[in-house]
Structure 1
């Protein structure tokens, strides 16, 4: 954790580089610091995944509308200020990446940050973390 999942309308495939957006968002997440100046999200645990919607309906269906939904899921224990900072950083990064698309077409962008309270199971196995915990 954290995991950022992006769902988007497939009509954006030809208009923007989603892999570049994923990288920019991951890099932005790694820059988020807490009140003590410590990196909030562990490098080895940061994941950004993007999926085009196989089926979608946006607004009234009378136009070639587009939509991007970002959902950040983070573990419990971070302050409200840090949660907001992470959300703001994601929103600004996505807006910058999609600026040319916003100029060309109607598009909606939503960023939602969820905390994972009350987990009943959180199993993990990773060979990524040791690469960054040196």
Structure 2
């Protein structure tokens, strides 16, 4: 953990000139942004080897009124939506939660600025703290980022 899962309408999988977005680039930007967050003691909040961002286009979707209001407003009826849910382990302060949310929100606003200006699109960023019933982890990634003395 943390895991940031991005669900999005597949109409965003097209060139930026057509209202789309580079989703691999978005994932990299979000991951990099998460790694910049520090706690009140200036420690990196998320372990580098445990930070993951995964994006999935929705196979099926319906949004709002299907595009009628967008068409009537001259903005087009090709609505898009992105839902981002960050799930992180318990134990971090409310201030850290706020910092993480602010960093992700700023990244999203920067990455989607062009699309937000040109088309009807909704974006949700949600940060959840886990209530783990079981929490087993296996990784050969973490040793790559542990400091050597």
Equivalent position of 2:88 in the other structure: 74
Equivalent position of 1:83 in the other structure: 97
Equivalent position of 2:48 in the other structure: 43
Equivalent position of 1:27 in the other structure: 32
- Give the CA deviation at 1:88: 1.1
Q: Tell me, which stretches of 5 or more residues in structure 2 are unaligned? A: 15-19, 68-76
Equivalent position of 2:114 in the other structure: 100
TM-score, normalised on structure 2?
0.87
Q: 1:128 aligns with which of 113, 120, 141?
A: 141
Deviations 1:35-93 (A, max 9, x none): 01000000000000000000001111122100011100000000011001101110110
Separation in 2, partners of 1:89, 1:70: 13
Alignment partner of 2:91: what SS? coil
Q: Larger Rg: 1 or 2? A: 2
Alignment partner of 2:49: what SS? helix
- Give the CA deviation at 1:120: 1.5
Equivalent position of 2:78 in the other structure: 64
- What is the root-mean-square deviation in Å for CA atoms of aligned residues? 0.7
Q: Tell me, which stretches of 5 or more residues in structure 1 are unaligned? A: none
| Alignment: residue pair count | 133
| Structure 1 runs, 4 residues or longer, greater than 3 Å off | none
Alignment partner of 1:31: what SS? coil
